[in-house]
């Protein structure tokens, strides 16, 4: 919901929500129409920011995909927002998110994906499913240059990048029930659906298994293994704004 105010006449201001007039302010002995309108606007803007409850916000969450639909005060969103803040108030949770993303990123970069960058948490409203969706963090690289030939090697590499985050936590660090792998696997399955038929020589399960083995091999090479925590530190600094 976007609140705005506009001067309507010399002695009158109006308040609008998403462009619809919802309030009118005149001069009073206590304050001018303009002062009243500005106070009203401040109140509306305060409402649009989820207010801290028990905990304080520890990370910045990109909520632009919620704000544009006017759902910043929706109770489901507000709960979601504070649930994510609560997760990240546990720094071990934040660290795991960052090493997971660092593992993805380093293998992507090793395979020449350009401009790999870290994006922090976000919540958005999915207009199709009519649900709030969110992520803890992600790394994103540029698309492959147009005309890149799709080969079996390329498919394995891209699958290996996707498997790397979960492999680092589960197989290198031995973390049980680490989050994040399920989403990577689901994204992987979606990509499998777009593989050219002549390159579908094995089931997605078989390909994922090979990708995990490849990720483990590459991530445990001494030089790569050293890089992951270093990169994770950079992402942690970005995540917690320090
Ligand atoms: Zn991941």
- Would you say 66 and 77 are in contact if contact means Cβ atoms under 8 Å apart? yes
Question: Which of 192, 212, 114 lies closest to 150 in space, CA to CA?
Answer: 192
Helix (H, G, I), strand (E, B) or coil at 223: helix
> At residue 174, what are phi and psi to the nearest 5 degrees?
70, 25
Say how far apart CA 200 and CA 192 lie, in whole Å.
8
Cα of 100 from ligand 1 centre, angstroms: 6
Cα of 105 from ligand 1 centre, angstroms: 10
pLDDT tens per residue across all 242 residues of the chain: 678 899 988 888 998 887 777 888 988 888 899 999 999 888 887 766 655 455 689 999 999 999 999 999 999 999 999 999 999 999 999 999 999 999 999 999 999 999 999 999 999 999 999 999 999 999 999 998 888 899 999 999 999 999 999 999 999 999 988 878 899 999 999 999 999 999 999 999 999 999 999 999 999 999 999 999 999 999 999 999 87
Cα of 54 from ligand 1 centre, angstroms: 29
Q: C-alpha distances in angstroms, 2 versus 76, 119, 132?
A: 19, 25, 19
Cα of 187 from ligand 1 centre, angstroms: 9
Give the domain ranges of the chain. 3-48, 75-239
Say how far apart CA 152 and CA 200 lie, in whole Å.
9
Say how far apart CA 109 and CA 164 lie, in whole Å.
12
DSSP assignment of 121-179 equals -EEEEETTTTEEEEES-EEE-PPPPTTPPP-HHHHHHHHHHHHHHHHIIIIIS--TT-T
Cα of 12 from ligand 1 centre, angstroms: 54
- Those residues whose beta carbon sits under 5 angstroms from the ion ligand 1 are 165, 180, 184
């Amino acid at each position: 919901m976007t609140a705005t105010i506009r001067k309507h006449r010399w002695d009158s201001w109006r308040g609008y929500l998403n462009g619809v007039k919802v309030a009118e302010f005149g001069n009073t002995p206590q304050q001018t129409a303009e002062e009243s309108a500005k106070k009203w606007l401040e109140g509306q803007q305060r409402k649009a920011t989820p207010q801290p409850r028990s905990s304080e916000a520890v990370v910045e969450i990109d909520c632009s995909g919620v704000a544009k639909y006017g759902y910043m005060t929706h109770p489901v969103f507000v709960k979601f927002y504070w649930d994510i803040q609560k997760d990240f108030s546990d720094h071990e949770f934040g660290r795991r998110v960052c090493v997971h993303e660092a593992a993805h990123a380093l293998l992507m970069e090793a395979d020449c994906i350009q401009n790999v960058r870290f994006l922090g948490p976000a919540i958005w409203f999915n207009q199709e499913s009519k649900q709030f969706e969110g992520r803890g963090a992600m790394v994103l690289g540029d698309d492959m240059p147009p005309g890149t030939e799709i080969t079996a090697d390329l498919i394995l590499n891209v699958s290996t990048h996707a498997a790397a985050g979960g492999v680092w936590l589960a197989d290198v660090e031995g973390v049980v029930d680490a989050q994040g792998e399920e989403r990577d696997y689901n994204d992987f399955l979606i990509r499998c659906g777009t593989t050219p038929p002549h390159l579908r020589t094995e089931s997605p399960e078989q390909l994922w298994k090979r990708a995990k083995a490849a990720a483990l091999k590459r991530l445990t090479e001494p030089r790569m293994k050293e890089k992951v925590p270093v990169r994770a530190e950079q992402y942690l600094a970005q995540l917690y704004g320090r």
